[in-house]
Homo-oligomer: A and B are copies of this chain.
Amino acid sequence: MPQKISENIQDYLKRIYEFTLSGSRASTNQLAQALGISAASVTNMVQKLSKTDPPYVTYEKHQGVKLTPFGQQAALKIIRRHRLIEIYLVEKLGYTWDEVHAEAEVLEHAMSPLLEKRIDAALDHPKFDPHGDPIPDINLEIPEIEQTALSSLEIGNKGRVLRVPNEDPQVLRYLGKFGIRPGAHIKLISRTPYDQTMRIKITETGNEAVIGPSLGNKISIAKDS
């Protein structure tokens, strides 16, 4: 039943993958918002995806969806392409890290297996995209990496940035300005009591930056031991 997988379906699967990484199910509304379409349309599509011959998702009414192993493979295939494109654009075509996500969102659907192979080879099999997200290897495997949220760092403690949120160009430009990027070493200076706003110091640049708690939750770090 699922021969050629449409661009729309590819994006659905990718979103479902992201929302179910933590183990929970992806809700209809969550997907509708992320994809910029109505909840009714999502219900429709999700029902379809649960009825293909090997189904892409398991779906229970009002309970949200999860990817089947089959659906997960399909999702990882696109995620691999997306992240390869991002790092290629930065490394080979002079893109900044805030420009690549939107571009990859489109190109991922137009990438042939051959192009994927050539780009992967040209970059010598890169392991991470520009935002620190791991690139599934040719067998679609992703290494497990120990990581915690920046928000969970204690005052005075240090860490190394592993990944930053990758979708919002404004946020990326803000982070880039201070040198907050994968590999950067940071130290938590202070945290305000009520709204939990953090001041952090970036070792490499000497900068200090202010990070709110919601952004802090989306930045992953490795805590210095």
Residues of A at the B interface (CB closer than 8 Å) are 89, 92-95, 99, 102-103, 106-107, 109-110, 112, 114-115, 118-119, 122
Q: Which residues of B contact A106 (CB under 8 A)?
A: 110, 112
Provide 19 A-B residue pairs closer than 8 Å at the C-beta atoms, listed in order of the A residue. A89-B115, A89-B118, A92-B122, A93-B118, A93-B119, A93-B122, A94-B118, A94-B122, A95-B118, A99-B114, A102-B112, A103-B112, A103-B114, A103-B115, A106-B110, A106-B112, A107-B107, A109-B110, A110-B110
Decide if the interface of chain A is mainly helix, strand, loop or mixed: helix
Name the residue on B nearest A121 (C-beta): B94
Q: Which residues of B contact A102 (CB under 8 A)?
A: 112
Q: Which residues of B contact A92 (CB under 8 A)?
A: 92, 122
Name the residue on B nearest A112 (C-beta): B103
Chain B: minimal CB distance from A108 (Å): 9
Q: Which residues of B contact A89 (CB under 8 A)?
A: 115, 118
Contact assessment for A93 and B107 in the assembled complex, using a CB-CB cutoff below 8 Å: no
Name the residue on B nearest A118 (C-beta): B93
In the assembled complex, the Cα of A129 lies from the Cα of B103 at a distance in Å of 24
